[in-house]
């Protein structure tokens, strides 16, 4: 559980122009899990969608600060082709310079066998695979049909299994797709079955364009459950395009899911870019879960301070509402 935000002396006093930090005692809600695993995607999914480039030193400091704040899983980068994702072109240097972090999972996204081989050479122990529920996004994202990409992932998963490496499968476009419109839950089921059959231990359901609403979330998790895919095998990955990411996450938790993807500071959601479709901000998630008395092990204040630091590096404010609110209260901030 995080400590309350402690205002510095004088903060919040009448006439100072600052308001005291208020945090209410946790109040639970029926149907929620006692603990949630936060799968931090900021350094990978967040930074790959930022318009600017960030130095490897800044990325290393970011990852260390995220871990120091209590995050136990940080997806650190992607071994995509550097031309395809220039923001993460320093992946090999970054991975080779990561300090030992005992007990902390540091998965790396690998889009193909070549990326997997690079991961193995770097000593990576856990990989994630970017599958898609739809044909159109598979072609747009990886230049392959859905079945071709799944066949390539199966090769990666088999080799990872031989090495005892954990494999996570992302399923993008689980609810809507910009080319195909609404996505049939049965399409998600088909991809989920393939990913589990090839050895994925966890599937992350992605609402890549952020169109889902809570009823659709519950329906998809129920359809998957009816097809033999248990909530314990799932994570959720929501985008806040329509302001629904947190509502959708809470519904997923009430449907039995206990792993949530989130991005520190809402990284990847640039308020000045044409598409402000960022990931759920980790701080917004933590404000809700702390208030609900759900344990995450992450210190909200330390995380918000990290996001404020990174916002300074990026030269723009965090889009997270929680980071913005805490910024007005944390010491040293106006
Ligand atoms: Mg994302």
Q: Is 254 helix (H, G, I), strand (E, B) or coil?
A: helix
* CA 207 / ligand 1 centre spacing (Å): 8
Confidence of residue 26 (pLDDT cuts 50, 70, 90): very high
* CA 292 / ligand 1 centre spacing (Å): 24
| Domain spans of the chain, in order of start | 38-327
CATH number at 38-327: 3.20.20.70
Q: pLDDT by residue (tens digit) across 8-21?
A: 444 445 555 556 67
Q: pLDDT by residue (tens digit) across 231-240?
A: 999 999 999 9
DSSP 42-57: IIIIIHHTSSS---HH
Task: Based on the residue annotation, tell me whether 270 is a catalytic residue of this protein.
Answer: yes
Taking alpha carbons only, the member of 92, 57, 28, 91 closest to residue 295 is 28
Q: Is the pLDDT of residue 179 over 50?
A: yes
Residues 6+ apart with CB under 8 A from 186: 223
* CA 237 / ligand 1 centre spacing (Å): 6
Instruction: Among 45-54, 99-108, 127-136, 211-220, name the one with the lowest average pLDDT.
Output: 45-54
From the list 24, 174, 200, 270, the catalytic residue is: 270
* CA 278 / ligand 1 centre spacing (Å): 7
Q: Is 19 helix (H, G, I), strand (E, B) or coil?
A: coil
* CA 48 / ligand 1 centre spacing (Å): 10
The answer to whether 144 and 113 have CB atoms below 8 angstroms apart is: no
DSSP state of 81: -
Q: Which two tokens stand for residue 137?
A: 């996004």
* CA 9 / ligand 1 centre spacing (Å): 39
Average pLDDT over residues 138-166: 94
Can you give the pTM of this predicted structure? 0.93
């Amino acid at each position: 559980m995080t400590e309350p935000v402690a205002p510095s002396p004088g903060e919040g006093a009448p006439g100072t122009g600052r308001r005291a930090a208020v945090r209410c005692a946790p109040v639970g809600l029926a149907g929620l899990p006692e603990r949630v695993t936060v799968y931090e995607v900021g350094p990978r999914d967040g930074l790959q969608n930022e318009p600017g480039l960030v130095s490897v030193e800044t990325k290393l400091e970011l990852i260390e600060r995220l871990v120091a704040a209590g995050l136990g899983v940080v997806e650190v980068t992607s071994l995509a082709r550097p031309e395809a994702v220039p923001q993460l072109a320093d992946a090999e240097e970054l991975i080779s310079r990561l300090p030992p972090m005992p007990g902390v999972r540091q998965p790396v996204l690998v889009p193909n066998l070549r990326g997997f081989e690079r991961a193995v050479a770097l000593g990576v122990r856990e990989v994630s695979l970017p599958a898609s529920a739809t044909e159109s996004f598979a072609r747009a994202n990886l230049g392959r049909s859905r079945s071709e990409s799944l066949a390539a992932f199966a090769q990666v998963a088999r080799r990872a299994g031989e090495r005892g490496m954990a494999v996570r499968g992302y399923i993008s476009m689980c609810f809507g797709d910009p080319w195909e419109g609404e996505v049939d839950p049965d399409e998600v089921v088909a991809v989920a079955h393939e990913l589990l059959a090839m050895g994925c231990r966890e599937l992350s359901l992605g609402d890549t364009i952020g169109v889902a609403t809570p009823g659709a979330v519950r329906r998809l998790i129920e359809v998957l459950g009816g097809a033999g895919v248990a909530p314990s095998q799932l994570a959720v990955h929501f985008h806040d395009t329509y302001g629904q990411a947190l509502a959708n996450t809470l519904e997923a938790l009430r449907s039995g899911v206990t792993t949530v993807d989130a991005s520190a500071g809402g990284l990847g959601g640039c308020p000045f870019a044409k598409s402000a479709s960022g990931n759920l901000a980790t701080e917004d998630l933590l404000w809700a879960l702390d208030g609900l008395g759900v344990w995450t092990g992450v210190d909200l204040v330390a995380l918000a301070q990290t996001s404020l630091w990174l916002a300074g590096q990026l030269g723009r404010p965090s889009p997270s509402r929680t980071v913005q609110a805490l910024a007005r209260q944390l010491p040293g901030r106006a």
